[in-house]
Structure formats: C-alpha cells, structure tokens
Amino acid sequence: MLYFSVPLGKLVRRVSRLRGGGSALPGLVVEKIDPGFMQRTLSALPLGVAVVSGTNGKTTTTKMVVELLESQGLKVFTNRTGSNFTRGVAAALLGEVDWRGRLDADVAILELDEAHAVHFVNKVPPRYSLLLNVLRDQLDRFGEIDKTAELLQHIASKTTGTVVLNREDPRVARIAATLDGPDVLYFGLDDSLLSTFPNDDDMRAAPGSPVPDAPARPAADVVLRRVGVDDASFEFDGATVTTPMLLRGVYNIFNAAAALTLARAVSAARGTGTDQPGLVAALSKVAPAFGRGESLVVDGLPLELVLVKNPSGFRLGLKSFPAAGYATMIAINDNYADGRDMSWLWDVEFDTLRDGGVDQLTGSRAYDMALRLQYDDVAIGAVDTEIAPALAAFIRGGQGKPKRIFCTYTAMLAIRRELSKITTVEVVS
C-alpha cells in the first residue's frame, strides 16, 4: 500500500493545487487509502513529534519553535499550510516525503487544533507537547472551557517525553497533577506582568469580588521578565537576557517564552548541547505569522493586521497596539472558523479607542460591534457589512496615516485577499 498511496497522494496534491483546491484534500485521500501513513512516517523521526495546542497563539508559537530549532541545525518538519487538522498534517507530509514515503527531518513541530489533536495523539503519541492556554474561544464548537481543558489534558497524557505547560493559566497548570510518566516544564511571567494576562476566571469575576488564594506557582524553565516597545527580557538558566524583537504584541512575546521552553527541551535531547545565544538570536529575527500582527505597506505607510478571537486576545491587542496616530478598522465575522457566539465582545473594554474613534466597521457582525462601541462612547465613522467596499473606503479615508485592522479569522482572510490586489501580501498555500 505504501508505494501506491504516496504517489497517488502526491498526484492529488498536484492536481488540487492546479485547480485551486483546499490544501487538506490530499491528506483526506491518503488517510482513506493508507490509514497508517502518518504514524509510519512520523515515528521514524529521530527526535519524534512535538504538538503545539491551546486556544490562542498556536500558529505564531509553532513558527517560533521551528525557527529556533532550525537555528540549532535541526531539520524540522511542520504543517506550514496552517491546516491544523490531522488531514492537514497528512497533506503537508505528502509535500515533503520522497516517492517512497521517507521524510528527511529530525523532528516534527505540529500546530493542532485542540479537538483534532486528541485524534492525532491517539494515532501518533508525541514525544513533546506544548499547551498554551484555555480561553473562551468558539464555545459553539468546543463547549465550556473545562471541556477544552480536558482535551489538552488528553494530549498531555499521551505525551511520552516532556509536557510544557503555561504556569499562569490555572486550567493548564493543573494538568501536571494528572500526569504519570512525562517530564513537566513550565513557562511563566514575572509578577509585574501577571495583571496584563488575566485568565478567563479573572475576566469573568465581578468587580470587587474577593480573589481566591492561588496555589504556589512552580518554578518555570523560562520566565518573561519584561516587555519593551521593541525588545523583551527572558530569564532562563539563572540569567536574564534582553533581546530585540520583530514580533509585536505582549501576547506574542509571552508565547516566545513558551517557544523557548520547548525548543530548549528538544535541542537538549540531542545530547550535543544547545547554543543558547543562537536561540536568542533566532528569536529576535522571528517575524509575525500569517495574519498574526503582520505589517503590510499601503501607500507607503504600514497597515497592521491584528487577529482577535476572544476577549483576552482583543484586550491584549488593544493594549499592545495603541490607537494614537492610527486609522482604525474593526472587522468581525461569525463564520464557523470564527465561532458563531460573539457575545464575548461585551467582555472587552474599548475605552482606549475613545479618543480617536473607529473609522470603519465591517463584517457580518459589524452592527453588533457598533452597538458595543456605542456603550463605551467610541465614535464610529462608517459601518458596512461588506468587507471589500469597507476596506476600500477605509484606505481612501485614511490617506496619510498608518492603519490598523482588528479582525476575526475569516475577516482577516478576506481582507488579505483584497489587500493582495494593491500591495505585496505573503501567500500561504
């Protein structure tokens, strides 16, 4: 079956690309005709498989881990297409294996959607897992956040080597107590930054309500000590290192601590030592992932795309990217990939937009967003549920000013398609 399934899968992949089809289709085909393809291929990797999962930050964190490990001379396979389902992994494998199904890599670093990661780890137990956070995101898909925590716990339970956990997220940190076998490492925050990253329970607590006693926090392998305008300080191995950062947004910088923790663990497994300065140098050069805080150029000025998926992410986005001096647009869709339940918008405080207002609102839930902004006394320039004309009007009206667009996932995809007609936009196939 091996010598038949791989050529057929590659053929489907080539035809699908020519016809503009979805990147996961070849993976679906090979899963049907050769169910053992993914497990057989990945199990041959010398350093095994690392799974990155959680509600927010998977794509950027995976990109960071890949680039950090490549700086150590490792050959890394990853699902660069952004398809974080199992068939997306299989499709990505088809693009990398030779005609005999052999993969030239030392390790696989895979971004996986929480629910689909459960199915993946049942087939391919990972040697490493990195679990980022549990936030209210797409509740209509996964149910309550405790259910999402259970999915992450299952991923951890199937991990054979090292589990990396977010020390500051109580639902993630408590997974450690359920494990019997894998080593556990943590990434964490300096005390001065804790209020910047409220967990889901903190955000839902009534103002003035008593704060329950928190358990003692375990020691972390990497701690984010400080976030500057264009640099950050991390502590590991008893020393604090400050490095410039191309990544913007405090949430991305915290995820950099997560990426450092996993990269250090994987690199150490080689037994040949880790080039710690090389890791830090590589981290300083990581650019934002597809649609995650990337900056494009329109009319000679930057246009930044900031992906927002839940109240914590939107709050951190507003805090990371001050509104002063920027033309601002918000694009909110409620398609399946965004999550249908947009009630979380009411848990975001938009007072930082009050001085300059919002120039343009768009997306299928533009009027819901307009109502929310009115309650925070934020002036609105225009509302148009159709993204293409709204974006065109926003660019015309904001001439001479840098621009920023806060957008949900499918709105971001639509905006990037429109922007590709007038500026250079990275194409992710």
Catalytic annotation, residues: 341
> How many whole angstroms separate alpha carbon 306 and alpha carbon 292?
6
Phi/psi for 39 (5° steps) reads: -65, -45
118 three-state secondary structure: helix
Q: Count Cβ atoms below 10 Å from residue 4 Cβ, excluding itself.
A: 10
Helix-then-strand count for the chain, H and E:
16, 15
Phi-psi sector, 108: left (phi>0), alpha (psi -120 to 50), beta: beta
> How many whole angstroms separate alpha carbon 84 and alpha carbon 116?
8
Torsion of CA 332, 334, 339, 342, to 10 degrees: 70
> How many whole angstroms separate alpha carbon 91 and alpha carbon 55?
23
> How many whole angstroms separate alpha carbon 361 and alpha carbon 374?
12
> How many whole angstroms separate alpha carbon 395 and alpha carbon 225?
38
Do 244 and 231 contact (CB within 8 A), yes or no?
yes
Which residue is it, tokens 């502590």? 235
Distance of CA 334 to the CA centre of its chain: 19
Q: Count Cβ atoms below 10 Å from residue 329 Cβ, excluding itself.
A: 29
139 token code pair: 């509740």
Element of type H or E holding 405: strand 403-407
> How many whole angstroms separate alpha carbon 190 and alpha carbon 188?
7
> How many whole angstroms separate alpha carbon 263 and alpha carbon 94?
25
> How many whole angstroms separate alpha carbon 33 and alpha carbon 50?
26
Do 62 and 52 contact (CB within 8 A), yes or no?
yes
| C-alpha triplet 151, 65, 143: angle, nearest 5° | 20
> How many whole angstroms separate alpha carbon 230 and alpha carbon 228?
5
What is the per-residue burial (b if ≥16 Cβ within 10 Å, else e) of 162-179? Answer: bbbbbbbbbbbbebbeee
